[in-house]
Amino acid sequence: VDGLIATPQGDGSGALSEAIAAGVPTVFVDRRVAGLDVPVVASDGDGGVRSMVEHLAGLGHRRIGVIAGPQEASTGRDRLSAVRAAIRQHGLAADDELVRFGDFQLDTGVRCAGELVELAEPPDVIFADDNLMALGAFQELRRRGIRVGEEMGLAAFDDLDWFSLVDPPITAVAQDTRALGAEAVRLLREVREGGQPADVTLPVDLRVRRSCGEGRR
């Protein structure tokens, strides 16, 4: 192939690192791998997380339950680190029991939401680190008869078009996925032409709806 655009999981070992070592032009999207000198295009995850936690704190939420992504992925580690830092900054509850670990898939969103709800002191709001885990959490809260946005809030990193169509509409951090793809192709062209392009970080957008209690304000 003339080039690779990849979203690596884990340490990037195996066929991916072999291709890079063989000189195949490569660009990473949404991930970084230690030891692999590859241009990366990613969204401003830290900024998105900080704006979300600030929004939740402004609504009066003190206990934020977190459904974190897999820690073998840089995105999972970075978002969890940003959440913890923002929680400390706002003086919110920083209990380890409020953090559950998923794998960016729906089923773990279901499981983690169930575990958070069953805590002796459950969270005021659940913040899922991606849209599929948020969907799983939404389904589990509805299954248990918990009124999202009234009895417990729900927020997501990664928006989906239909998040605005459910009841209540889900507050989310939105990435510009079209721009991510376009930048990845641009970087890959530069690499193929012998360039050494710098990493690119794209802005995100906090889309405030009603799933965290905003409708009561």
pTM over 0.85: yes
Question: Average pLDDT in the 120-149 region?
Answer: 97
pLDDT at 111 over 80: yes
Cα–Cα distance, 103 to 137 (Å, whole number) = 13
Cα–Cα distance, 115 to 101 (Å, whole number) = 11
> Rounded to the nearest 5°, which phi and psi values hold at 181?
-65, -45
**What's the N-to-C CA distance of the chain in angstroms?**
54
Residue 10 falls in which region: left (phi positive, over 0), alpha (psi -120 to 50) or beta? left
Report percent pLDDT > 70 for the chain: 98
- Give the count of beta carbons closer than 10 Å to the beta carbon of residue 4: 16
Which has the higher per-residue pLDDT, 120 or 8? 120
pLDDT tens profile 14-58:
888 899 999 999 999 999 988 888 999 999 999 999 999 999 999
Residue with tokens 């641009």: 186
Contact 42, 29 (CB under 8 A): yes
User: How would residue 124 be classed by pLDDT, with cut points 50, 70 and 90?
Assistant: very high
Cα–Cα distance, 84 to 68 (Å, whole number) = 11
Helix (H) or strand (E) holding 29: strand 26-29
Question: Average pLDDT in the 187-212 region?
Answer: 97
DSSP 142: H
Contact 152, 141 (CB under 8 A): yes
pLDDT at 215 over 90: no
Least Cα distance to 141 among 128, 157, 160, 159 occurs for 128
Helix (H) or strand (E) holding 41: strand 40-43
User: How would residue 12 be classed by pLDDT, with cut points 50, 70 and 90?
Assistant: low
Q: Which amino acid is at 120?
A: A
Taking each helix axis from N to C terminus, what angle separates 106-117 and 131-143, rounded to the nearest 10 degrees? 50
pLDDT tens profile 70-104:
998 899 999 999 999 999 999 999 999 999 999 99
pLDDT at 123 over 80: yes
pLDDT tens profile 161-173:
999 999 999 999 9
Helix (H) or strand (E) holding 125: strand 125-128
* Residues making up the chain, counted from first to last: 217
Summary mean pLDDT of the chain = 95
pLDDT for 35 equals 85
